[in-house]
């Protein structure tokens, strides 16, 4: 057992510094920590180190911390003044204003003990019970989501594919982009994405405005007053869509394909030679074309579209065929031959037997012999094949 050095008399001077309230407990704790006087002394260096450690332990034993107060018992007459009134509850969350339809007026089925009908017999299982109500499919009903959560796409649901209609809408997009660039500030670029639903008279007015190349070849409007007329129509369209529904306005505002073709024939093709030098005008026109037609112009094609004609040519270009048969049908050379037939997929041996009417007989004979009609039926390859391969 490790021996502790003798404590000198100077250490006992710490004891009177303890308060009188804790003198009895401190003396008991000190007595347990102080080493007995009968221990032998060691070297001076070892004694000093041991004295420092012993003094630290003694200070821990001679704690001057006042004893903890006992927990006060709560009386029966508790003061409820700190409780918040139900009407003035500040922690209550404010009611969220929403048009979502939540389930209300839920009624619970009475218990068996509350039923007074003598002919009532509780069900022992749920096999024949009818399921009534429930909240499992509550949010599957679109009417419970409200009008504010209705999804409104950026462009039309179906893309415009008619070349004449695409040319008319592209011309309109460039004209509106020029007006927006001249009158709107940098933060008003959102007007380039306003709804395509405008009055039909205003749409015809925009298409009748002359778009010509300027002195430097850039696209400009023929008269300065045309900018004001187009800008007035753009701002008016934003007000119309905020007051009326998009579906109601768009049904009576879209041009007919026949009208679009007549407009294309009446226009001077010189307007396609106008250059799109201003990048802001080109950006506004691309966003407006996406909003009107549903076609997204890639950045590579947009940068390469130097003139209005190249932009229109990219829109009116027919999409590339996904299959070879579609490409051959568009060309019309092979289908015109009397001895050539095009099929959308590969002609299998089963298809050939069906063409001559022999497939039903083959199916009947295979079923009679309990053989699979199509496939191997799990039989696998013959063992003679392995013998021939030397396996």
Give CA–CA dist 10/140, Å, rounded. 86
What pLDDT does 7 receive?
60
Spatial CA neighbour of 198 closest among 246, 266, 138, 153? 246
The first and second tokens of residue 165, run together, are 């209609």
Collapsing DSSP to helix, strand or coil, 213 comes out as strand
Average pLDDT, the chain: 73
Sequence ranges of the domains in the chain: 9-61, 163-316, 349-389
Q: 186 or 233: whose pLDDT is higher?
A: 233
| Single pTM value for the model | 0.54
CB 285 within 8 A of CB 317: no
Task: Give residue 348's pLDDT band: very low, low, confident or very high (50, 70, 90).
Answer: very high
Q: Identify the residue whose tokens are 């696998």.
A: 380
In angstroms, rounded to a whole number, what is the distance separating the alpha carbons of residues 251 and 276? Answer: 32
Cβ neighbors of 129 (< 8 A, separation 6 or more) are: 123
The whole-angstrom separation of Cα 176 and Cα 346 is: 50
Say how far apart CA 35 and CA 150 lie, in whole Å.
Answer: 85
DSSP state of 222: S
User: Residue 180: which of 250, 231, 105 has the closest Cα?
Assistant: 231
Give pLDDT tens digits for 217-272.
898 888 888 888 888 777 765 544 444 444 444 443 467 888 889 888 988 889 99
Q: What is the mean pLDDT of residues 201-213?
A: 76
Q: Whole-angstrom Cα distance, residue 176 to residue 233? A: 9
Each residue of 287-312: pLDDT tens digit? 989 888 889 999 999 988 999 999 99
Mean pLDDT of 48-62: 51
Q: What is the average pLDDT across 340-347?
A: 89
More confident: 166 or 199: 166
Question: By the 8 A CB rule, do 302 and 286 touch?
Answer: yes
When pLDDT is cut at 50, 70 and 90, the band that residue 75 belongs to is very low
């Amino acid at each position: 057992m490790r021996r502790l050095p003798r404590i000198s008399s100077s250490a006992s001077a710490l004891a009177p510094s303890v308060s009188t309230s804790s003198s009895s407990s401190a003396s008991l704790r000190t007595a347990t920590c102080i080493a007995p006087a009968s221990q032998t002394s060691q070297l001076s260096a070892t004694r000093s180190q041991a004295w420092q450690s012993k003094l630290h332990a003694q200070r821990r034993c001679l704690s001057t911390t006042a004893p903890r107060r006992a927990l006060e018992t709560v009386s029966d007459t508790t003061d409820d003044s700190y409780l918040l009134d139900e009407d003035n509850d500040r922690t209550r969350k404010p009611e969220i204003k929403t048009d979502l339809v939540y389930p209300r007026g839920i009624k619970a089925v009475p218990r068996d003990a509350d039923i007074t009908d003598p002919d009532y017999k509780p069900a022992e299982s749920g096999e024949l019970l009818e399921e009534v109500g429930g909240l499992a499919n509550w949010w599957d009903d679109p009417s419970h989501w409200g009008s504010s959560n209705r999804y409104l796409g950026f462009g039309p649901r179906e893309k415009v594919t008619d070349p004449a209609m695409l040319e008319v809408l592209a011309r309109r997009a460039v004209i509106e982009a020029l007006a927006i660039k001249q009158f709107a500030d940098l933060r008003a670029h959102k007007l380039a994405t306003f709804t395509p639903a405008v009055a039909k008279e205003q749409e015809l007015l925009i298409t009748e405005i002359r778009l010509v190349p300027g002195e430097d070849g850039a696209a400009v409007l023929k008269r300065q007053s045309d900018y004001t007329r187009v800008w007035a129509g753009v701002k008016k369209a934003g007000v119309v869509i905020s007051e009326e529904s998009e579906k109601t306005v768009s049904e009576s505002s879209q041009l007919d394909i026949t009208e679009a073709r007549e407009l294309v024939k009446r226009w001077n093709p010189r307007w396609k030679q106008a250059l799109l030098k201003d990048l802001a005008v080109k950006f506004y026109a691309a966003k407006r074309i996406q909003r009107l037609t549903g076609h997204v112009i890639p950045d590579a094609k947009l940068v390469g579209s130097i003139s209005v004609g190249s932009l229109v040519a990219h829109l009116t270009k027919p999409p590339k065929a996904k299959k070879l048969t579609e490409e051959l049908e568009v060309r019309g050379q092979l289908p015109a031959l009397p001895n050539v037939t095009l099929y959308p997929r590969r002609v299998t041996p089963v298809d050939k037997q069906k063409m001559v009417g022999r497939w039903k007989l083959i199916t009947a004979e295979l079923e009679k012999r309990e053989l699979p009609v199509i496939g191997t039926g799990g039989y696998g390859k013959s063992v003679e094949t392995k013998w021939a391969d030397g396996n």
